[in-house]
Amino acid sequence: MVLPGLNIDDGLTRLAASCEEEISGGFARLDRICAHNQSKTLAAFRKNRVSESHFAWATGYGHGDVGREVTDRVFADVFGAETALVRPIITCGTHALSLVFLGILRPGDELLYCTGTPYDSLHDTIGLTGQGMGSLADFGVTFRKVDFTTDGRIDLDAVAAAIGPNTRMAAVQRATGYNDRRALTMPEIASWAKFVKDMRPDIVTMADNCYGEFLDTTEPTGNGVDIMAGSLIKNPGGGIALTGGYVAGRSDLVETVSYRMTCPGVGGDTGLMFGQTRTMLQGLLLAPQIVNGAVKGAMFCAALFGGLGFRVSPEPLDERSDIIETVCLGSPEAMEAFCEGIQAASPIDSFVKPIFEEMPEYEDEIIMAVGAFVQGSSIEMSADGPKREPYNIYFQGGLSYEYSKLGALMAAQRLLEKGLLTLP
């Protein structure tokens, strides 16, 4: 395997070839999922009669913006939801999730997280940190969490025991986040949602769907979940969307969230798309194929670093429900070297050296490599992690399998150059 211009050690290229043989048998299932989702997205475009006229700019209030309206309908159909709210003014996944919490929950309500402690960036929103910032805790909304079972499953017995008279919303985080666990599969999410609804039909079930879109043929809102949210610079933006996020689900709930996004009485009926309708829709159409390549790249990363003696999760041929590959590197120095390799393999800012630094919404220093056309776009290719034991790095993305594979190889090469790994 010749890799011009990257100076990859011959031993690594030989290992890479054997890794590809190891994982190639798992590609057929991913290709079937991709084909199903590509057909589904195309059907949504055709059903809603998307045309070039929908890409035109609106100005002012944006009343009657046909591009905005058709974007919401297409996303809703693709996600199996009654309606969707897709906007460039939703700045990130954390923002989209915060809109759901702050839009639906009221003083005296309880938010029950059924997948342990939420992702770090949500701690301020919930009120676990950052008191006085307009968090849920500031508004009198309480929080409770249920940890996983010892084998990494949702503990339904503990969920049943935790549900109380004030429980208004039960939530799950599909992706691993900065945890060393499996991502939740769609059957697990469906079983959890049914379990909660059988106990208390009035409880709103919510899924953090970040990093999970198009990993299966259906999404949480097609499997009994009332509402979900995510970011367009992750999976569903297909590497094309310049910014934005989405909320999708039951119409009444999404409408309530829209009032938090703008103001009561206005909701989603106003607000400009700032010319982003085309990139959002084009990214959605490309997303099944882009996600397919990213998942294959994660499998290669697992095989490569597992073959180099590092603990990886998931294992190369494990079933996957997000695009994240966790590599336990064991030291901050190894995390830095890994990220240097990913950054060096990036088309943008390849000359930049990632370092640990404090970031808003995170309790630990974070290192992040992302040389992307869209700043911070996880789906393009990135690696990040907190400076805390056991010093895991979280690798995700790649606009194609080949690009993702090269990133993983460059990360391994940098570790090799710094004497932080030994070839088998």
Q: pLDDT category, 130, cuts 50, 70, 90?
A: low
Strands 366-369 and 325-328: unpaired
Query: Of all residues in the chain, what percent carry a pLDDT higher than 70?
Result: 98
Q: For 203-258, what is each residue's pLDDT tens digit?
A: 999 999 999 999 999 999 999 999 999 999 999 999 999 999 999 999 999 999 99
* Closest-CA residue to 245 (of 262, 228, 231, 261): 231
Domain membership of residue 341 as a residue range: 10-37+285-417
Residue 135 located in a structural domain: yes
Amino acid at 37: N
Are 146 and 233 in a shared domain? yes
243 lies in the same domain as 327: no
Amino acid, single-letter form, for residue 379 = I
**Does residue 332 sit in the same domain as residue 215?**
no
Whether 151 is covered by a domain: the verdict is yes
131 and 269 both lie in a single domain = yes
Average pLDDT, the chain: 95
Is 241 within 8 Å of 279 (Cβ atoms)? Answer: yes
Same domain, 164 and 96: yes
- Given 214, 241, 275, which residue is the final one in a domain? 275
| d(C-alpha 401, C-alpha 397), whole Å | 9
- At residue 41's C-alpha, the angle toward residues 36 and 43, to 5°, is 95
Which contacts qualify for 154-158: CB closer than 8 Å, 24 or more apart?
154/114, 154/115, 154/184, 154/188, 154/192, 155/114, 156/191, 156/192, 156/195
Per-residue pLDDT averaged across 298-320, rounded?
Answer: 97
Compute φ and ψ for 287, nearest 5 degrees: -55, -45
Contact 123, 92 (CB under 8 A): no
225 and 320 in a single domain? The answer is: no
Q: Is residue 1 part of a domain?
A: no
> Does 399 have pLDDT greater than 70?
yes
Q: What is the pTM of this model?
A: 0.95
DSSP letter string over 77-127? HHHT-SEEEEETTS-SHHHHHHHHHHHH--TT-EEEESSSSPPGGGHHHHT
Q: Given a cut of 70, is residue 2 above it in pLDDT?
A: no
27-47 and 66-79 helices cross at what angle (nearest 10)? 140
- Does residue 335 sit in the same domain as residue 209? no
Q: Of 233, 250, 275, which closes a domain?
A: 275
Count up the domains in the chain and report the number: 2
pLDDT band at 417 (very low <50, low <70, confident <90, very high): very high
Residue type, 327: V
Judge whether residue 51 has pLDDT over 90: yes
Please indicate, yes or no, if residue 157 is contained in any of the structural domains. Answer: yes
Q: Is residue 130 part of a domain?
A: yes
Domain assignment present for 51: no
Q: Are residues 170 and 232 in the same domain?
A: yes
Secondary structure of residue 74 in the 3-state scheme: helix
Could you give the CA distance from residue 397 to residue 399 in angstroms, rounded to a whole number?
Answer: 7
Does residue 131 belong to any structural domain of this protein?
A: yes
The rounded distance, in Å, linking the Cα atoms of 135 and 113 is 16
| pLDDT tens digits for range 342-390 | 999 999 999 999 999 998 777 889 999 999 999 999 999 999 999 999 9
CATH of the domain at 327: 3.90.1150.60
Q: Which residues contact 62 (CB under 8 A, 6 or more apart)?
A: 68, 270, 271, 272, 273
Give the end-to-end CA distance of the chain in Å, rounded to a whole number: 18
Q: Are residues 298 and 358 in the same domain?
A: yes
> Minimal CA–CA distance to 281: which of 71, 81, 88?
71
% of the chain residues with pLDDT over 90: 92
In a domain, 47, yes or no: no
Rounded CA-CA distance 8/15 in Å is: 11
Residue 221's CATH number: 3.40.640.10
User: Of 275, 296, 326, which marks where a domain is finished?
Assistant: 275
Q: Is 270 helix (H, G, I), strand (E, B) or coil?
A: coil
pLDDT of 64 reads: 84
Residues 397-410 have a mean pLDDT of: 96
